[in-house]
């Protein structure tokens, strides 16, 4: 073990120039916005089933054009644009008929909206652990979490890495479970050549400002099921006022909302979607360069390197093994790299079951939905230690680099590699 104090700095930093934020907004998006502005109608939704042009239950021409383009790219029969992926996750739970008395298995190592979505309908989130090699749900852990109450799996393609969908779908078929795919970070990711989102019952994508492609806020739900598509459309657009004219009688969970995307958002998102393949190619190239250039180090593994999965690397997730790096802690390693001008994040997000919401089991008044009569026999654990892999990644091993994307180039990756070599040499 290295017991000597580690240096605060090691001479002249490797890098002094700033890292550039990804920004793919250009002239195409500006022209699209102006096209909408000149029409003068920034949204063309109407909360009624019968169309009254130019307003419509299905939205305006920009929304419908975006849905058509996404359908071609993702390969599903139906696409429903929404105002955020968070809204899409909630609508997906509603469309699948989830509710009181049901359990939904979800990852603890992701954004909180994934675990909150079932709560809106009274269903209880149950946390399965993640794979160390991907950060995605571990099928073996899913299997251990299944009870007679389990109705759905909410699978996250974390960091842009596809989850093990063959094993997950086999479990879903065996136990007759519905599958929601959260593809917020995985635009363009492929599992065995098939787009994520098109494998389960409903896929949800994000156009949030932080994503590879964005329109500020926005999202899509995708499905191959005609009725699920209708239910998603009803939930997006005040379904309670629409079902009578639509002749739709399965109205459970169809208390609708305003999850509608504006024409402005859709126009920008459509131009962004046209750039997806190029932007993803840049991310993959930069990550591949990093992997190739750090092979000599046995303390440094990029997650998601698997021939079955084409990852998009929304961020670059890396496992750090202190025991193979002179027992330098992750925090020390990150601090020394930061002094060299190389920023890394630590740990991603705290496992969700440790949030006050789950520790206290209070989402709504009187401790609902956990206190509801239908859920009183549902006793999921939210104790520390529940998901050791997620906790280990969070507390000790996971590093994240956020800038392996356009407009960075390979020379920027070489700065990372040079700084790592320099830090390792100083610690030896």
DSSP state string for 306-339: -TTEE---SSEEEEE-GGGTTT--HHHHHHHHHH
**Number of domain units in the chain:** 2
Pick the last residue of a domain from 251, 274, 297: 274
Quote the tokens at residue 367: 């401790």
16 falls within a domain: no
Strand ranges across the sheet with 194-195: 194-195, 190-191, 309-310
4 falls within a domain: no
Same domain? For 51 and 151 the reply is yes
Find out whether 81 and 62 touch, Cβ atoms under 8 Å: no
Pick the last residue of a domain from 274, 295, 315: 274
Global pTM reads 0.95
269 falls within a domain: yes
292 falls within a domain: yes
Find out whether 6 and 336 touch, Cβ atoms under 8 Å: yes
413 falls within a domain: yes
Find out whether 215 and 317 touch, Cβ atoms under 8 Å: no
Q: Is residue 289 classed as helix, strand or coil in its secondary structure? A: helix
Digitized pLDDT (tens) for each residue of the chain, 428 residues in all: 343 445 556 789 999 999 999 999 999 999 999 999 999 999 999 999 987 888 999 999 999 999 999 999 999 999 999 999 999 999 999 999 999 999 999 999 999 999 999 999 999 999 999 999 999 999 999 999 999 999 999 999 999 999 999 999 999 999 999 999 999 999 999 999 999 999 999 999 999 999 999 999 999 999 999 999 999 999 999 999 999 999 999 999 999 999 999 999 999 999 999 999 999 999 999 999 999 999 999 999 999 999 999 999 999 999 999 999 989 999 999 999 999 999 999 999 999 999 999 999 999 999 999 999 999 999 999 999 999 999 999 999 999 999 999 999 999 999 999 999 999 999 87
Burial of 18-30, coded b for 16+ CB within 10 Å and e otherwise, reads: ebeebebbeebbe
Quote the tokens at residue 376: 């009183």
Beta bridge partners of 301: 319
**Dihedral, CA of residue 390, residue 394, residue 397 and residue 401, to nearest 10:** 120
176 falls within a domain: yes
Q: Is residue 205 classed as helix, strand or coil in its secondary structure? A: strand
Q: Is residue 37 classed as helix, strand or coil in its secondary structure? A: helix
Same domain? For 41 and 85 the reply is yes
Quote the tokens at residue 90: 């909630």
- Domain of 308, in residue numbers: 277-349+389-427
Same domain? For 234 and 330 the reply is no
Q: Is residue 414 classed as helix, strand or coil in its secondary structure? A: helix
């Amino acid at each position: 073990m290295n017991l000597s104090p580690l240096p605060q700095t090691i001479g002249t930093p490797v890098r002094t120039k700033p890292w550039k934020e990804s920004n793919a907004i250009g002239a195409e998006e500006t022209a699209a916005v102006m096209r909408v502005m000149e029409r003068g109608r920034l949204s063309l939704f109407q909360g009624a089933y019968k169309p009254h042009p130019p307003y419509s239950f299905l939205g305006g021409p920009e929304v419908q054009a975006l849905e058509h383009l996404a359908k071609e790219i993702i390969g599903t029969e139906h696409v429903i644009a929404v105002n955020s992926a968070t809204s899409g996750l909630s609508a997906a739970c509603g469309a699948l008929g989830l509710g009181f008395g049901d359990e939904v298995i979800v990852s603890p190592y992701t954004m909180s909206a994934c675990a909150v979505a079932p709560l809106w309908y009274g269903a209880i989130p149950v946390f399965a652990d993640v794979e160390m090699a991907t950060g995605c749900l571990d099928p073996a852990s899913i299997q251990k979490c299944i009870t007679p109450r389990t109705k759905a799996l909410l699978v996250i393609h974390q960091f842009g890495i596809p989850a093990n969908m063959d094993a997950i779908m086999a479990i879903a078929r065996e136990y007759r479970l519905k599958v929601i795919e959260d593809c917020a970070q995985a635009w363009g990711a492929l599992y065995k050549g098939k787009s994520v989102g098109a494998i389960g019952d409903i896929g949800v994508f994000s156009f949030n400002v932080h994503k590879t492609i964005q329109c500020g806020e926005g999202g899509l739900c995708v499905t191959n099921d005609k009725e699920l598509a209708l239910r998603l459309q009803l939930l997006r657009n005040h379904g309670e006022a629409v079902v009578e004219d639509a002749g739709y009688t399965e109205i459970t969970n169809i208390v609708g909302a305003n999850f509608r995307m504006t024409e402005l958002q859709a126009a920008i998102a459509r131009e962004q979607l046209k750039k997806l393949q190029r932007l993803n190619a840049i991310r993959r190239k930069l990550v591949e360069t990093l992997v190739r250039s750090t092979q000599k180090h046995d303390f440094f593994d990029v997650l998601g390197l698997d021939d079955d999965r084409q990852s998009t690397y929304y961020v670059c997730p890396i496992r750090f093994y202190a025991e193979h790096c002179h027992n330098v802690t992750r925090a020390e390693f990150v601090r020394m790299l930061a002094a060299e001008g190389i920023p890394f994040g630590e740990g991603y997000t705290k496992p969700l079951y440790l949030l006050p919401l789950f520790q206290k089991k209070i989402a709504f008044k009187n401790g609902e939905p956990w206190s509801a009569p239908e859920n009183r026999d549902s006793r999921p654990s939210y104790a520390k230690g529940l998901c050791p892999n997620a906790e280990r990644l969070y507390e000790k091993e996971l590093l994240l680099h956020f800038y392996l994307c356009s407009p960075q180039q390979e020379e920027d990756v070489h700065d990372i590699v040079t700084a790592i070599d320099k830090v390792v040499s100083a610690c030896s």
